[in-house]
Amino acid sequence: MSAATGGPGGLPKGLPDGMPAPRSQFEQTMEGLRVQGRVIHALLLRELQTRFGRGHLGFLWLFLEPLILATVIGGLKSLIGRGGMGNVPPFLFVVVGYAPYFAFRAIINRSTTAFQANMTLMYHRQVRLLDIMLARNLLEMGAVTCVLIIVLAGTSWITGFAPHDLPTMVFALLLLFAFANGLALLVAAGCARWEVLDRIVHPLTYISLPFSGALFALHYMPRQWREALLWNPQANIHEMLRDGMFGDQIPAYYDVYYVLAWVVIVNLLGIAAVRAVRARLEF
């Protein structure tokens, strides 16, 4: 039987015996995503072992570090007082604000050496610079998300104070991660191009805390200050987090579309910057 009329075993027309049928574009795309998923998973495990070793205490410290810092700051806030926050526990107010900020700062700061610390991985054809960044950033955000789950579950069990709108909180955390990821790509590409940038980024992330809205609600600020701070996408995200957590108990001010625009812009610029700097990296 000729190839034009089909072959034995139901082979497609035009294919020699024993040749597999070509895969569709969708199948090729899904296979590529599965491969990259396995790559990112392997990079996550490598990052865990590199940073914390193989001991259980090392892995545990990934979650304890932000939890301890947020707890200490929250405890100090509780001692100072509620500051007009009504029935909102001061400890919970601070943890909901500082823990995500901790992840944001860690993602940006660790991106300064992301490419230099993983140069040897680039000899593997399936590993890309974007995979390295995504794996490191997912690790930071995953740790802080676990901290928030532990704190919110414990607070809800002890005091009965549960999140007002959990989907809003989850969406705000996703926006924060996406925004930090885009900035991290820009910082990583910039540090690969200009080494002096590494010394500037770390102080800037600490200086940004008063302008991030992480430790205070914009509702209690003068109107002109509030309007100025809302130009910062991070302040919008923290307001959205508090809206999801506390609802009407603390009026929130934020613009979701404004934040989304920033997220898209910084990630597109970050991807372009990483591609541009790749040729300058020596593998």
What is the pTM for the complete model shown? 0.76
pLDDT score at 236? 95
pLDDT score at 53? 61
pLDDT along the chain (283 residues), means of 10: 48 53 61 65 67 60 67 66 63 82 86 70 65 78 79 75 86 92 89 80 85 85 90 93 88 92 94 80 57
Contact between 230 and 254 under an 8 Å Cβ cutoff? The reply is yes
Alpha-carbon distance of 177 to 56, in angstroms, equals 26
pLDDT score at 183? 92
Residue found by looking up tokens 């790509």 in the block: 185
pLDDT score at 2? 45
DSSP 81: -
> To 10 degrees, what angle do helices 233-246 and 256-278 make?
130
Going from N- to C-terminal start, the domains of the chain cover 28-278
